[in-house]
Structure 1
Amino acid sequence: MLVLLPPSETKIDGGDGPPLRLDALRHPELGPLRSALVDEVVALSADVPAARAALGLSPKQDAEIARNAALRASPTTPALLRYTGVLYDALDVRSLRGTAAARARERLAVGSALFGLVRADDPIPAYRLSAGSALPGRGTLAAAWRPLLEPVLRAIADGELVVDLRSGSYAALARVPGAVDVDVLAERPDGTRTVISHFNKAHKGRLARLLAGTRAEPSDAGAVAALARRAGMRVERPGPAVLHVVVPA
């Protein structure tokens, strides 16, 4: 099973790993585009106003541009320890121990606008590039990534179950045939429901933690739903490969 996570805009600084080596990342077939995008992001950082516009940043966030300028020289840390925020707080991968930690390192991966797909232990620097960013002289990042990333994810999905927890803009970078898609719905007292955005990250993080550490090997959406229900989550299956996590509004 592969649990595909969205990245976070916020990332910890520093790390104790060597500077970025793209050949140290898994899925080397993504290497040429990774290298091109890193070079483009570094070059963009030399023009701070242009970088702000392309990355959707304010002057108060110029430190993000400085981090991008140092992408090739900055220290690295494993990807799962680089990302922070609501989902990663709920996932709390640092607290996993023993076989649960080992399973998490193998099962968890992150969709990235800069690297396409990173596995848990892939050493990466801090960076700022979102799926919706528009780099000068390049079309959308989805148009760039889809021809390369979709075959990688298709090959994974042919051999194991993929649970896709990515947000819409990152899911657009590459589709995953047969993946289990998960939405979080808030239910009001009158029974009406809405899709929630920010707080869905915490619920997806809890589900990711459950799937990362379980001894079970679910083979379809029904088995994922059963695991989640046993853990106390309210989960519905409106389609063969679709799950709804329902929470109080």
Structure 2
Amino acid sequence: MTTNPIYNFNNKTAIVTGAGGGMGKEIVLALSKFGAKVYGIDLKEKPEEYANLNIKYFQEDITKFDKIDLIFDQVFKETKRLDFLANVAGVLLFGKDKSLVDIDLDVYDQVININLKASTYAARKAIPLMQKTGGGSMVHISSVQAYRGDPLPQDAYSQSKAAILNLSKSIAMQFAKDGIRSNTIVPGLTMTPLQDRWKNDKETQSKIANHIPLGRLGKPEDMADGTLFLFSEASSFITGTELIIDGGLLLH
């Protein structure tokens, strides 16, 4: 057993996509709290909470891969290491993401590019950097929608999140020999900016919470806690698996 505190990320470097809000923001703040040097990427403006913290923020489109190349190269040049990658960036296009028989294929491509292709590219950039310093850990954000159908489908989103599960497993199998671990967090219904339609609708929130065995919606902080665990020494023998954080929703 390690003699160091489990959540001691001093001298560690992390890149977090989707760092402009929701789960990504909470993951950035949690990593920074426990000593990591964190680099955040998002198209949104830099959150005010990052002021005076050991966080560098890039306001960039995660699908602009030439920009992503420059960011990863800069991170490694500045810190000489990459320990953690959190693939959090994602989009859920209500009203546009529909059944496969109805969805506009341009919308389909947009969702797949952000939710899957960008995560794949970020991992592709991270792997050789982690190999140079003896390994690292990745966490990818999926969704309970990866496991089930929906009578009101968002098929591009669900497909992208199911594919994330296999992306993580493939990375875990290929690069375990290099000391690289890869795991997935599977959130249930969580109050993030993607779910702003519920923000002021307490009645709907209550109805949804009543359907969840633990009796509440998830919070971005719940996913940050799971990410800390999967990046920490406490999970050093865990790779290629999923941590479902859904309050028991999938028990139904």
TM category (shorter chain) comes to 0.3 to 0.5
With structure 2 as the length reference, what TM-score do the two structures score?
Answer: 0.34
With structure 1 as the length reference, what TM-score do the two structures score?
Answer: 0.34
